[in-house]
Amino acid sequence: MDIDKCIEISISLITTSSPLTAVTNSLQQLQTARNTPPTCKGGKQRRRHKERRVQVHAKKKTNKRKPAVLRMISGLVRQDVITFFANHFEKTLADWITMLQKTAIPSNIASSDPHIITAFRLLDEARTDRDSTRSRLAYIQLMRVFESLEGIVASDRENGRLLNRCSGYRNASIAIDVYISAQKQTDTSRREVIERKRIARHWRTLAEPSPIFVLIYSEVAEAVV
């Protein structure tokens, strides 16, 4: 996808005619739903609610591990999600646009183009940054660059520019080779790269429909991905 189009989509998903209104409303509904206890009307509803509470209590006694998992899942979204999002979305949007400008891969280059190596190295620097939001964005863009590179490799294959590769060597494997060649540490294994791609894929899924939504997740999400 063209970089200008990516930037346009990212901005349109966050900014509206009334900035933050749509996003804030959605986050407000999420926070309200999470903090509002169920209400009951009438004796029958109260009895059903009481029965459900007894069932939940019984499950907690019979399965000690499940509550911990549920607490982890419920803790994925920040407690201060609305305030945090409002305070940080402009900087995060600017960081995302800058990241796209520096690392987006043109579709008309070869898989051996040094621009790809540069993009991978920049993303690795951001991926290991102490700023967790920037790191999450870098993982998302890393997945996008991998997918762009795999498309470029496919084009190189069709045009006969991969003469040294056997027909059974997949495009994704060649992309991993290119990524490893960009590493400053020469002992990076393919298993490590596959793990980074897995994390990147999970962050992209969590952040849908826009990478900016990595802001809504707490530090608990780092353990989940």
Residue 59 belongs to some domain of the structure: no
> For the chain, what is the domain count?
1
pLDDT tens-digit readout, 115-169: 999 999 999 999 999 999 999 999 999 999 999 999 999 999 888 887 665 566 8
- The boundaries of the domain holding residue 118 are 3-36+75-224
Given phi > 0 = left and psi -120 to 50 = alpha, else beta, which region is 165? beta
43 found inside a domain: no
Query: Distance (Å, rounded) from C-alpha 211 to C-alpha 77?
Result: 15
Q: What SS3 state is found at 130?
A: coil
Asked whether residue 51 is domain-assigned, the answer is: no
pTM score, whole prediction: 0.72
| Position 44 in a domain | no
In a domain? residue 194: yes
Main-chain dihedrals φ then ψ at residue 16, nearest 5 degrees: -130, -175
Q: Could you tell me if residue 26 is inside a domain? A: yes
Sign of the alpha-carbon torsion through 204, 206, 210, 212? negative
Q: Kindly report, residue by residue over 196-216, the tens digit of the pLDDT.
A: 999 999 999 999 889 999 999
Instruction: Tell me, yes or no, whether 53 lies in a domain.
Output: no
Would residue 58 count as lying in a domain? no
